[in-house]
């Protein structure tokens, strides 16, 4: 299980000579606030989806969870340990147990490694010396990722594989160390539609079978709705709504969640075309976030309170949280 508490990450803005001078005058350092105090937890065997527009901090969150970025505030608890305090053996253990599947299976495999060698790499890095033991683990991982028949795949190179097969190699590589946390960052968006469901199925099955906590990042709400147990909606570095998938998709409360759902084109075929609802505008500048609710500039229902105070997440019904002044009270 993984728990995230008030996690924050900001990056220093590269300053030009002139902007450095002005910010010196203002005595305020410019920082991009990519992730702005988010909290959630993912249990073993559960898939949590994170949705939001590009630039909302989804990938930064993934990097923080993997310990690849050091948080600017808050913490990530992995099996009860704060990952930024880990050292030595504990850190190596964490690195083994937290794995990532990338978006692009064409870019994330070494073209000169065979499938077998690719999946063996994490084992070698983690000093599993006995060859027979490695072989056994590799075979098991390949089986789980449905790279069958095993013999046919072992000696193949990435260029001999299709996109779906490559992504299954990436999955096998990620699970060969039996991770506790698995992060999939848009893992099917580069794949052809006819094979996407197969990859999603593997991720879902493995999450349950291996009792992993899985974080699935995507901006495709229909995809998240079909595989996730719960979904968190991010906007400008914050979670604005989080809850069980059905609640989020069937009864969204935050105006932004609604906008995301209404913008999804539906494969329903009719003569008279309906117009999609697309909210205007763009996400706010992460350096100068607006005061109050960060969504208020694009929100049709913004009231005075939205301008002055930042709404906090509160529980509307069991397990369904939303941060909006207009909901509830």
Partner 1 sequence: MQAAIENENEMLLQVDDLKVDYQMEGAVGRAVDGVSFALRKGECIGLVGESGSGKSTIAKAILKLLPSNGALAGGRVILKGRDISHFTEEEMDAIRWAEISLVPQSAMNALNPVQRISSQMVETFLAHQAKADSRKTLLDKCQQLFEMVGLSRNRIFDYPHQFSGGMRQRATIAMAIALEPSVVIADEPTTALDVIMQAQIINLLKSLSEDKGVSIILITHDISIVAQICQRVGVMYAGRLVESGDILKVFNNPFHPYTMGLKAAFPTIKELKKTLISIPGSPPLLTKRLEGCCFSDRCPFSIEQCQRVIPHTVTIREDHYVACHRIEYAERFRKEIIDIFGTRVRGQS
The residue ranges that bind partner 1 (CB under 8 A) are 53-54, 162-165, 192-201, 204-205, 219-223, 225-227, 229, 244-246, 249-250, 259-271, 273-280, 282
Choose between 177 and 203: whose C-beta lies nearer to partner 1: 203
Shortest reach from residue 329's CB to partner 1, in Å: 28
Shortest reach from residue 147's CB to partner 1, in Å: 12
Give the CA diameter of the chain: 67
Shortest reach from residue 174's CB to partner 1, in Å: 18
Choose between 98 and 217: whose C-beta lies nearer to partner 1: 217
Find, among 72, 102, 48, 101, the residue nearest to 239 by Cα.
Answer: 48
- Tell me the three state secondary structure of residue 125: helix
CB 115 within 8 A of CB 156: yes
Choose between 53 and 79: whose C-beta lies nearer to partner 1: 53
Shortest reach from residue 198's CB to partner 1, in Å: 3
Shortest reach from residue 117's CB to partner 1, in Å: 22
Choose between 136 and 246: whose C-beta lies nearer to partner 1: 246
- Tell me the three state secondary structure of residue 320: strand
204 is written with which tokens? 């879902």
Shortest reach from residue 166's CB to partner 1, in Å: 11
Q: Which residue has tokens 């609640």? A: 247
Choose between 137 and 196: whose C-beta lies nearer to partner 1: 196
Choose between 54 and 85: whose C-beta lies nearer to partner 1: 54
Shortest reach from residue 72's CB to partner 1, in Å: 25
Choose between 3 and 53: whose C-beta lies nearer to partner 1: 53
CB 159 within 8 A of CB 109: no
Shortest reach from residue 52's CB to partner 1, in Å: 8
Residue 282 has phi, psi (to 5 degrees) of -135, 165
- What is the length of the chain? 329
Euclidean distance between CA atoms 115 and 158, whole angstroms: 7
Strand blocks (E) in the chain = 2-12, 31-42, 46-51, 73-78, 81-82, 98-101, 181-185, 213-217, 230-235, 238-244, 314-317, 320-322
Choose between 128 and 150: whose C-beta lies nearer to partner 1: 150
CB 190 within 8 A of CB 199: no
Cβ burial, residue 301 (10 Å; 0-12/13-18/19+):
exposed
Q: Give the count of beta carbons closer than 10 Å to the beta carbon of residue 114.
A: 17
Shortest reach from residue 305's CB to partner 1, in Å: 25
Q: Which residue has tokens 């935050």? A: 254
Choose between 61 and 245: whose C-beta lies nearer to partner 1: 245
140 is written with which tokens? 């098991």
Pair type for strands 46-51 and 213-217: parallel
């Amino acid at each position: 299980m993984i728990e995230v508490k008030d996690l924050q990450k900001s990056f220093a803005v590269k300053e030009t000579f002139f902007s450095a001078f002005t910010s010196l005058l203002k005595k305020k350092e410019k920082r991009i606030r990519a992730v702005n105090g988010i909290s959630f937890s993912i249990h073993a065997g559960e898939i949590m989806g994170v949705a939001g527009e590009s630039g909302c901090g989804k990938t930064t969150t993934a990097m923080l969870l993997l310990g690849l970025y050091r948080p600017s505030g808050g913490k990530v608890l992995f099996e009860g340990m704060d990952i930024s305090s880990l050292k030595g053996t504990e850190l190596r253990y964490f690195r083994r147990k937290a794995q990532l599947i990338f978006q692009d299976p064409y870019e994330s495999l070494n073209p000169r490694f065979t499938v077998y060698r690719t999946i063996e790499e994490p084992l070698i890095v983690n000093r599993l010396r006995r060859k027979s033991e490695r072989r056994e683990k590799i075979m098991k991982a390949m089986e789980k990722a449905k790279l069958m028949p095993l013999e046919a795949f072992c000696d193949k190179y990435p260029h001999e594989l299709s996109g779906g097969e490559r992504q299954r190699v990436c999955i096998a590589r990620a699970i060969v160390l039996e991770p506790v946390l698995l992060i999939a960052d848009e893992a099917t968006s580069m794949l052809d539609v006819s094979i996407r469901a197969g990859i999603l199925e593997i991720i879902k099955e493995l999450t349950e079978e291996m009792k992993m906590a899985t974080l699935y990042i995507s901006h495709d709400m229909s995809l998240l709705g079909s595989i996730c147990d719960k979904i968190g909606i991010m906007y400008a570095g914050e979670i604005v709504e989080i809850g069980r998938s059905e609640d989020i998709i069937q009864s969204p409360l935050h105006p932004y969640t609604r906008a995301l759902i209404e913008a999804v084109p539906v494969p329903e075929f009719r003569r008279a075309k309906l117009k999609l609802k697309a909210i205007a505008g763009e996400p706010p500048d992460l350096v100068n976030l607006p005061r109050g609710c960060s969504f208020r500039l694009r929100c049709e229902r913004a009231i005075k309170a939205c301008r002055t105070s930042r709404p906090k997440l509160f529980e509307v019904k069991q397990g369904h949280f939303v941060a909006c002044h207009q909901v509830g009270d």
